[in-house]
Amino acid sequence: MGQYIAPLRDMQFVLHELLDVTAELKALPAHAELDADTINQLLEEGGKFASKVLFPLNHVGDREGCQLDPATHEVKTPTGFKEAYRQFVDAGWPALTCDPDFGGQGLPIIVYNSLSEMLNSANQAWYMYPGLSHGAYECLHEHGTPELKALYLPKLISGQWTGTMCLTESHCGTDLGLLRSKAVPQADGSCKITGGKIFISAGEHDMAENIVHLVLARLPDAPPGTKGISLFIVPKFIPNADGTLGARNTITCGALEEKMGIHGNSTCQMNLDDASGWLIGQPHKGLNAMFIMMNAARLGVGMQGLGLTEVAYQNALVYAKERLQMRSLSGVKAPDKAADPIIVHPDVRRMLLTAKAYAEGGRAFSSFVALQIDRELNHPDEAMRKDAADLVTLLTPIIKAFMTDNGWIATSEAMQVYGGHGYIAEWGMEQYVRDARINMIYEGTNTIQSLDLLGRKILMDNGAKLKKFGALVQAFVEENGTDDAMSEFITPLADLGDKVTKLTTEIGMKAFQNPDEVGAAAVPYLRVVGHLVYSYFFARMAKIALAKLDSGDNFYKAKLATTRFYFARLQPETAMLIRQARAGAKSLLDLEAELF
């Protein structure tokens, strides 16, 4: 059933050589004492848990799935899931980056980001249970009353309780302005909430003693649309004042969705029948509060795409080195064997390097964004916090969409390496393809992310946030533009930066005349900007690798080869994407709907 080995060497390269994370953290008072040895030790322990505990359960979870008891509405998770969660909690992992005032360890987000990648590689379906809890923690920590924080946060942080977000309903999908769930205020300050929610990941399970649902609903005086949505905390068991469990609340799982992938996670239809809930934040401002959890989820889904890219690559690489098929076109490479290992064939190399490049590019990119979140939350300089927040805002939809698109591409290529065996369940590769496909859909489809990037994050502020990232690119280009050894990376990076600027201006001008131009251009546009981001980080990594080629460490030789592959084979996709983005809305909208 394959293997998973945490890519600690590349993680350490990104954290310590590319980002110089310990020096960066010294500027943040909350993390100034954290050193490289501590970070490395944490990641080593996380890697052991991922490979030894979670990875062996991945195939089990896919085969068994979750089981709902219709009489009790209880859900049984696959064999070993509950026991693995207990180990996770006992080791203190849920508290890693949480507020020490409520029992957290207060470590930086960038450390959690690397742990997240490893857990997603090992077992995405399992990790969704505690992963969603962290988003619930962040939302409640930011918007909850002191009383709600004191009651719920310590149990969420410890992992004793888990969390979910209950957003959409069967008739509204992404358009949350259409939701119908109702909340009726009660004399004791609570509300009685009635409605039905669908696609609720980890909505019911047996891994924790209580489940804390964050639910969107409408108060009686709510205006229509998204401006009338409020957010409520609705626990499975209503806690007593001392934190012990009280009465069973009337929020239950009515059915489990039969899904293409992530079978080990319970995707639930949740029914609320006068369930007791308590308002979080201001009335009718629930969507603003929920965006904290939604943004955390978007970043988390991007890490799911990265995790599957890495584990699929690892296993395809092992297979390619062992599988014997035909002889190399340029002559026999393994004369002692009946055929050559397939890794000698150019197109197998292409597939492997595609996955490898998307894994390494995504690791650098996501770690950079995690560091910006740490700056946003902790830097003493207000201007630095603002710049970091703007970069996170800009890059979040790219993390979600570009990294999950790439995860789908990479897992498909990795499965192809196996030939017919890739299609057979016993090898485990087809599961990665199935699991990867959902990541492009949930927490806002990748089309929604593309519209968010182009329409809200770029055109709405006349490109101000994009210019901040562009300034990083420009500074790097100017610093290294006269270095002949760097020209093969700097030239395409600078060229793409200029093209993004021109394309953005062109689409913005067309959108003034016809807003549909944004919708027509958004998806290819996001991939173009995604490649600009990856080009920037690959160029930075190439600079480090070039400087250390004589060190005798083959890691740098491999890093440079991967970077050259990226610029030669993957980044040129932007030429086609730019033409698509410029093609406009006419070819999409000329055909009347009834003629399809």
pLDDT tens digits, one per residue of 291-335: 777 788 899 999 999 999 999 999 999 999 999 999 999 999 999
Give residue 346's Cα distance to chain centre. Answer: 31
Helices 146-158, 109-143: axis angle to 10 degrees equals: 150
Average pLDDT of the segment spanning 526-551: 98
Q: Give yes or no: 117 in active site.
A: no
175-189 per-position pLDDT tens digit: 888 999 999 999 999
| Percent of residues, the chain, with pLDDT higher than 90 | 95
At 522 the pLDDT is 98
Average pLDDT of the segment spanning 395-422: 98
User: Which is the catalytic residue, given 169, 204, 376, 443?
Assistant: 443
At 15 the pLDDT is 98
Average pLDDT of the segment spanning 447-464: 97
- Which of 524-541 are b and which e, b meaning 16 or more Cβ less than 10 Å from the residue's Cβ? bbbbbbbbbbbbbbbbbb
Give whole-number Cα distances, 64 to 1, 98, 356, in Å.
15, 33, 30
Q: Which of 403, 401, 411, 400 is nearest to 436 (CA)?
A: 411
- Alpha carbon distance 379, 23 (integer Å): 13
Contact 216, 176 (CB under 8 A): yes
Q: Which two tokens stand for residue 365?
A: 């990119």
379-406 per-position pLDDT tens digit: 999 999 999 999 999 999 999 999 999 9
Q: Which two tokens stand for residue 363?
A: 């690791």
Contact 191, 184 (CB under 8 A): yes
Per DSSP, the residues of 339-407 read S-BGGGSHHHHHHHHHHHHHHHHHHHHHHHHHHHHHHHHH-S-HHHHHHHHHHHHHHHHHHHHHHHHHH
At 290 the pLDDT is 78
